[in-house]
Amino acid sequence: MRFILRRLGFYLIAFWVSITLNFLLPRFMPGDPVSRMFARSQAQMKPEQMDQLRKMLGVDDRPLWEQYIDYLHNLFTGNMGTSISRFPTPVTEVIASQIGWTLLLGGTALAFAAVVGNLLGVFAAWRRGGAIDSALPPLLIFIGSFPYFWLAMGALYLFGVVLGWFPLRHAFSDTLQPDFSWEFVSDVGAHLVLPALTIVLVTIGGWMLGMRNTMIATNAEDYITMAEAKGLRPGRIMFRYAARNAMLPSVTSFGMSLGFVVGGALLTEVVFAYPGVGYQLLNAVQGLDYPLMQGLFLTITAAVLLANFLVDVLYVRLDPRVRVS
Amino acid sequence: MTASLASTPTDPAILSPQAVTPGSGKYDDDSSGGSDAPGGAANPGGSGVSGGRCRATRRSFTQGLLTNKKALAGTAILLLFIALALLAPVLFPDNPSKITGMASEEPSAEHWLGTTAKGQDVLALTIHGARSSLLVGLTVGLASTLIGIVVGLASAYFGKFVDEALSVTTNVFLLLPGLPLLVVLAAFLPPGLGTVIVVLIVTGWAGSARVLRSQALSIRSKDFVAAAVVSGEGPLRIMFREILPNMASNVMSTLLGCVIFGIGAQAGLEFLGLGDVSTVSWGTNLYWAGNEGALLTGSWWVFVPSGLCIALVAFALALINYAVDEVTNPRLRKIRAPKDRVPKTAAHKSGSSHSKAAQ
C-alpha cells in the first residue's frame, strides 16, 4: 500500500509538471501564439481581434499567478477552451471524437506486438541457437532501425498503391456511416491493418529480445533444473516455470512503451491520415490552434501516466517483493 | 536480474522500465559483480582494479572490439556515411536543391537515384542530407550523454536529497510521452536547426541519466570510492576520476543509443514539417517526398534512399552497441560454461541485449 501511494504521489508530480509546462510554454516561449497568428494573417488582424484572442487563450495582462489559478480552475472543471481551427467546437469535444481511434490503433498494435513478441522470445530462449533464436533477432533489430513513418510509407506504397490490398487513408470509407454493422466493422478492420502492422513491426523486436534475454537468465536457475529432474513436461516448465518468472521486466516495459506507441502512432497516423489524436495534434500545430494542441498534449500525457499507474498496481500483484518492502 | 531488482527496493525508479529492460538490468549485474561472471577478468566495468590492471583491461576491451565482427561491420557502415557526408560538397558541388532534370524521372545513368517531383537529383539530396542528419545526431547524442553523466554521477555521489530530486526529475521526463512533447515544443519555438537540437536534448537526456545513475550507484558503493572519500579527495575528482572511468563502456553504449535517438527523432520531427524545411536532411527529404505525393505517383526512388540511410546508420550504431555489450558482458558471448548450467542450449553465437536502452 505504501508503495502504491508513493507511486501515486510520483504520478501526481509528473502530471503537475506537464500541466505547468503546458501553462508556461505559450507564455514564455519566443513564438507568442497571438503574434504568430498575426503574422499568419499577414497583418490583417485588428488590434481588437488580437485582444479578443488573448482573452480567449487566457494570455492577457493579468499577473501570472492569477492566470495560473484561472487555468487550473478551467482545467479541473473540464474546460480546455475552444478550438480555433474548428471554431466554435470546444477542445474537449474535438478530442473525445478522436481519442477512440488512437486507442483502437495503439491498443491493437501494442497488444499484438507484446503477445507475439514475448512468445517469440520465450521460444527463442528455450531453444537457444535454434531457428527462431538465430534468424529473427538480427532481422528484427534491422527492421526496428527503420523510422516508424518510413516503414509506414513503405507499407502504404507496397500494399496500398502497388498491390491495392488495403485502403490508403482514413479509418473507414467515406461512403459508410459509423454503426455496429458487419460491413462497417470489417471496413474499420481493413483500414486498421496497415497502420497497426507498421507499429507492430517496429516494436516487436524489443519485446522479443527483452523476453529472450531474461528467459536465458531464468533458464539457468536451479528450480528449472529441479523441474526437469521431476520429469515435468517441457511445455509446462517453459510457460509455468521459466516464462512466468521472466515476465516481470516485460510488464514494466509495457507501461513505458505506451509512450512510444503514442509517439509511433502519431507518425503512423500522419502517414495514413488516420483520424486519431496524433493526426489532430499535427493539424493543430499547423493551423496554430493552440488550445487544441495543448488539450491534446495534456490528454495524451494523462493517458500515459494513468496507464503507467495501472501497470504499477498490476506489478504489486505480480511481484511480492514490492509488497514487502 | 533479481539482484539488481532487489538491491534498491524502495527506489521509485525500479518500475521505470528503461533501466529494467532485461538487457541493461542484466548488464548492471555482471559489470558490478565482475569476478563472479565467467571470464570476468576481461570486464572493464569491473571496478576496484589498480591503475595498471585497469589499463590492461581497457586495452583488452579495445582489442575485443577490434576483433568483434559486429563492431567492425557497424564501424565500416558508419565510416562510409561519415565519409560521404564530408565529401558531399566535392561529389555534388552544386546546391542539392537545384532543379537539374525533369520531374519524377526514374533512376537512370544521368540521375542514379532518379529525380523528385520538382526535378531535383535524389542522390545529391540524399548525400547532402547526411551532413545535417549526422551532425544533429552526434550533437544531440553527445549533449544528452553529457547531461546524463553529470546527473547520474551527482545522483550517485551525493545520494539522499540530491538523488531523490534528480531521480524524480529524470523519471518525470522519461514518462512524458516524447514525441508529442517534441511536437508541442517545436511548435512554440522558432523553426531552425538550433531548435531541433535543443528540443531533442530536452526530451532525450533522461534516458541516459537513468541508465548511468544506476551504474554509478553500484560503483559508488565500492571500497575504492570509500577509500577516496576518506583520503580527502574532492567530489568532482571522485566523480570524474574515480567513478567515471569505471563505467566507460556504459557511457559508450549510452552515447550510441542517444545518437540513434537523435537521428531518428530529428527525422521524425522534420518529416512532420516541424524542422527547418529549407535545409536538406534525410528528414526533410522524406517530408517533401510525402508532400509532393511521391507515394501516390509511385516514385519509390524518392522516399526509399533517405529512409534506408537512416535505418543503416541506426543499424550500424546498434551493431556497435551490441558488440560493446558482448565484449563487456561475457554471458552474451559464445557459451563456454559447462553445459549443465544452461539447459536446452547449444553453443552458438548469441544475439544481443541492451534493448533500446537509451531511447
Give the pLDDT confidence of B248-273 residue by residue, as tens digits.
888 888 899 899 889 988 888 888 88
**Do A272 and A245 share a structural domain?**
yes
Residue among A78, A99, A28 nearest A262 (CA): A99
Domain boundary among A11, A45, A76: A76
Residue span of the structural domain in which A231 resides: 92-318
Domain membership of residue A83 (yes or no) is: no
Stated length of chain A: 325
Provide the shortest C-alpha distance from residue B23 to chain A (in Å).
7
ipTM given for this complex: 0.79
CB contact under 8 A, B295 and A263: no
Search chain B and give the residue with CA nearest A272: B290
- Indicate whether A84 belongs to any domain: no
A131 with A44, same domain: the answer is no
Contacts of A270 in chain B (CB under 8 A): 271-272
Cβ–Cβ gap A209/B274 under 8 Å: no
Q: What is the pTM of this model?
A: 0.77
Query: Does A232 reside within a domain?
Result: yes
Confidence of residue B146 (pLDDT cuts 50, 70, 90): very high
Q: Do the Cβ atoms of B268 and B66 come closer than 8 Å?
A: no
Q: What CATH number does the domain containing A96 carry?
A: 1.10.3720.10
Better pLDDT: A210 or B354? A210
Largest CA distance in chain A: 84
* Last residue of one domain, picked from the residues A76, A110, A137: A76
Number of domains composing chain A: 2
Considering the domain architecture, whether residues A178 and A276 belong to the same structural domain is answered as: yes
pLDDT digits 0-9 by tens, B2-54: 333 333 333 333 333 333 333 333 333 333 333 333 333 333 333 333 444 45
H helices present in chain B, as ranges: 2-7, 17-20, 22-33, 51-67, 69-91, 122-158, 160-175, 178-188, 193-220, 223-230, 235-237, 248-271, 282-291, 300-328
> Rg for chain A (alpha carbons), in Å?
24
- Indicate the DSSP class of residue B98: S
What is the least distance, in Å, from the CA of B238 to any CA of chain A? 31
Extract the residue ranges of chain A whose pLDDT is less than 50: none
Q: How far apart are CA B357 and CA A250, in angstroms?
A: 14
Question: Nearest Cα to B6, choosing from B38, B29, B33?
Answer: B29
For A192-235, write each residue's pLDDT tens digit. 888 888 889 888 888 888 888 888 888 888 888 888 899 888 88
Percent of chain B clearing pLDDT 90 (strictly above):
10
Q: Is residue A325 part of a domain?
A: no
Contacting residues of A for B178, CB less than 8 Å apart? 259-260, 263
Residues A164 and A243 in one domain: yes
Task: Please list every residue in chain A whose beta carbon sits closer than 8 Å to the beta carbon of residue B10.
Answer: 325
pLDDT in tens, B74-116: 899 999 999 988 888 888 777 777 777 777 777 777 777 777 7
CA-based Rg of chain B, rounded to a whole angstrom? Answer: 23
Report the DSSP beta bridge partners of residue B345: A128
Q: Are residues A28 and A125 in the same domain?
A: no
Residues B51-82 have pLDDT tens digits of: 444 555 666 777 777 777 888 888 999 999 99
Looking at the fold, whether A296 and A170 belong to one and the same domain comes out as yes
pLDDT tens per residue across span B173-227: 888 887 888 888 887 777 778 888 888 898 889 888 988 888 888 888 888 888 9
- A304·B22 Cβ contact <8 A: no
Indicate whether B341 pLDDT > 60: no
The verdict on residue A37 lying in a domain is yes
**Residue B65 identity (one-letter amino acid):** L
